[in-house]
Structure 1
Amino acid sequence: MTLSGSLRPISAGVGNSNDQTRRHNLSTILTMLHHGGAQTRAQLTRLSGLNRSTIAALVAELAELGLAYETEPSDSGLVGRPSPIVHANEKIAAITINPDVDAITIGLVGLGGELHKRIRFETASVPSVRETINVVTAVIAGMRAELDTQYRVVGVGMAIPGLVNGRDGTVRLAPHLGWQDVQVAEPFSAALGYPVRIANDAGLATLAESLFGAGRGVQDLVYLNGSASGIGGGVLVGGSMLRGAQGYAAELGHTLVNSAGIRCHCGKIGCLETEVNLGRLLAVLGREGLGPDELDAVLAGALAPDARAEVDRQLDVLALAIGNFISVFNPQVFILGGSLGALYEANPERLRAAVAANAVGTLGEDVRIERAQLRSRLLTVGAAEIVFAGLLGDPAAASPLVE
C-alpha cells in the first residue's frame, strides 16, 4: 500500500535563479540537507545549479528561520578558506505514532532523519483508537518538558497498517486493529495539540527506505514489510510512488499464494500474509511476542527442526511471491523490512535461489534483494516524512526561531 493524499516529490530537484522562485530555492536547499545530510556551501552550489551568492543568501535565510545552521569544517590542509558546512536543524522535530496489534510505538525524529527517541509500549490487547490516544498522550506528557525546551515540534505523523485516507485523516480499514471508517487525525490532534497527518505504514516505510536506506538513488523498487499486522508493500516506479486510482495501490500482502490455504482477514483464501506470517513463526518458536530486534537474535541462533522447517517453508512461499512481483514490476531492487527482513537474514541464499527460479526468464537474477537498512527505525523515520513534507515544500512559511 502506498501513500494516499498529496506529498511533494521525494527528490530535491534543482534551483532556479528567478526572483519569483525564491521559495522554491529555499525548498530545494532544505530538502538537499534533509535527505542528503550536512553539506558544504560549495557542494550545495554544485548540486543545486545556483551561484555562490544565492546559496549564501538562502543559507542565511534558513538559519534565520531556525531550519539550518553552519559549522566550520575541520582543518583539511587545503589552501584558502574552506567552505562552511551547512546542516539541517535536527531540533526541528516530528512526533511519530505507529499502532500495531501488540504495541504502540512513539518516536521523535528531527530534520535530517535524526532519530532522537523511540518508545515501544507493549499492549495486552489490540488497541482501539481511544486507547491509543490515551497511551500516546501519557507518553508525550512525560516528554513535555524535554519537548518544550529542546525541540520545535512541527506536527505528528501516524503510520497505520491499513487503508488510509490521508486527505481527510480517516482510516478506511485497518483489519488487524479493527479500525474501520474512523476519524483518526482530528481526535489525536485535539489530544496532543499538534497538527496530525496519517498514511499507510508500508507506504511510509517505502518512502523512508528510498530516501535514507537501501533504496537511496533507486528509481524502481518494491518494498515488502512484515509485522504482527500482516504484510504491506510499496512500489516506486520511475522515482514516483505507485498510488492507484483511489490511492490504495500495492496491497501486496493479499496476493494469492495458496488456493488451499487459510482464510485471511480480508475474506480471501491463501493470501501471502496468511502463509508468510509472524504469528505462525512465533508459535513454532514457542514465543508469544518479540520486538523487531529480538526476532533477529532468535532466528540467528540454533533452531529446533520444526522451527527450521517453518522458516524454510515461509522463505519458499515468500520467494514465490517475490518472483511474481519482479515479473510484474521489473524493479532494480527488492527490499524486505520488519519481520520479513529477519526471515530473509535467516537464510538469504535459499531465498535468492528460489526467487531466481520463480521469476520470468532471467529477471530474478538481475534484481538486488536487500534488507531494509533502517531496520526498527523504518516506520518512525517514514512517519516523520509526512510531517516534514509541508515544511520542506515551503520553508519560508515557517515562523522564525525565537531564542
Structure 2
Amino acid sequence: MGESIRFALQVLTTNLLRTTLSLLGVTIGIMLIISVFTMVDSLEKNIKDSFNFLGSNVVTVNKFSFVNADPNIPWYVYFRRPNNTYAEYEYLNSNLRNASHVTVFANRSTTVKFRSSSMSQIDIMGVGEAYENVYALNIELGRYFSLREIESGRNVALIGHEVAQTLFQNIDPIGKEIKVMGQKLVVVGVLEKEGKSLLGTPSSDERVYIPFKMFTKMYYVGRQGTNPTIAVKGTEDDIGLVNLQNEMEGMLRKIRGLKPKDEANFELNRPEAIADAISGVFDIVGYAGWIIGGFSILVGGFGIMNIMFVSVQERTKIIGIQKSLGAKNYFILFQFLFESIFLCLIGGAIGVFIVYLLTFIPFGALEVQLTLKNILLGVVVSSIIGVASGIIPSAKAARLDPVDAMRAA
C-alpha cells in the first residue's frame, strides 16, 4: 500500500497542469459547502447569543408566549391578561421547591444624567434580589446590590459599560451620583462590556440597574401599570424543568384564583423554545447548502473520473509491465484510487483554506468562525468524492490483462 501511495504522489507531481485543472471542481464544491455551513453555523450561533439576555435554564412568567402561541386564542385575549405582581413574586419565592433562584424585574426607557453629560433612551431595569444569579451579570468594577439595599429600595445603581464611558469618561464612577427621573442614584458598580448583538437585542452596556422597590417609586407597577416579569432559575437535576413548570403553573393558578377548567391567563416561557425554533429554520438553510454545493461537487467528481480514465489510458503499458513483474491487482487498484483521493483531498483542503481566509473579513456584528466540525466535514466529503470518482477507473486498471496492456499503442 505504501508503494501505491508513492506511485500516486509521483504521478500527481509529474502532471501538475492536469492536477491543477482537476482540483478546480472539487475545490469550488467543497468551498461552497463549507462556506455555506460556516455562515449558517455562525449566523445561528450569533442569533442564539443575541438571546442570552433571556438566560438559560430559566422559566419566565409573561402574558405572551415566546413561540407557538395558540392560534385559537384571539390576540386581544393576551392583552387583557393581568400583569404580574410583586405579591406573586414573593409567593413563588417563598414556596417554590424546584427553583434555585427567583427574581422579578421591570424596565422603562428614559434619560440618565451626570453633571452636564446625559444619555437618552437608556433602559432602566428595576431588579429583585437574585437577578444576578438568574441572569449572571458580570461586574467589572464595584459590586452588586446588598440584600438590605434591595429590600429597602435604596437609591443605588449598577450601570452598563457604555453608560459609564459616556457619562464619566475618565472619572471613576463608583460612589458618584447620577440622576434618573429626578432621583439621585449612587453608582455602586459597573458591568463588563458586552458588545452589540447581531439582532440588536437588549445589551447591558446601555442599561442602568436599580433595586426593584426603588423602581416602583419612580414608575407605577401593578395591574394596570408597568408589567414586571417573574423569572425562575431551575435546578440541574430537574431535566427539562418539567417539575418546576408544573409547580409554577399550580401556584400561579392558585394565587390568581383560577378554577381547574379555566384557561390559564399567563404563559410560562423558556429561552430554549426560541433556540429550538431558530435551529429548525437553519436546518432548512443547511439542506439548501448541500444542494448548492452538491451540484458543484458532482461536476468536480465527474471531472476527476474523466481525468482518471485518461490517466489509465496513458499508463496502460506501465500497468502491463508492472503486472508482468508480479504486481498484484490490489496494487494497481490502490495506485489509481489513492491518486483520485489525493486529488480530492488537496482540492478540499484548498477549499477549506479559502473559507478560513474568508473568516477574517469583517461582517459587522456577525462573527464568522470556521469550526472543527466543518473542517472534518470537508475532509470526509472530499474523501468520499475521491473514492466514488476513482473506484471505476481504478477497477478497470486492475482488471487489465498484462499481455494486452503491454501491446497497447
If the TM-score is normalised by the length of the shorter chain, which range does it land in?
under 0.3
Q: Which has the higher strand share?
A: 1
TM-score between the two structures when normalised by the length of structure 1: 0.21
Q: Look at both structures and tell me which one has the larger radius of gyration over its CA atoms.
A: 2
Q: Which has the higher helix share?
A: 2
> Higher relative CO (CA 8 A, sep ≥ 6), structure 1 or 2?
2
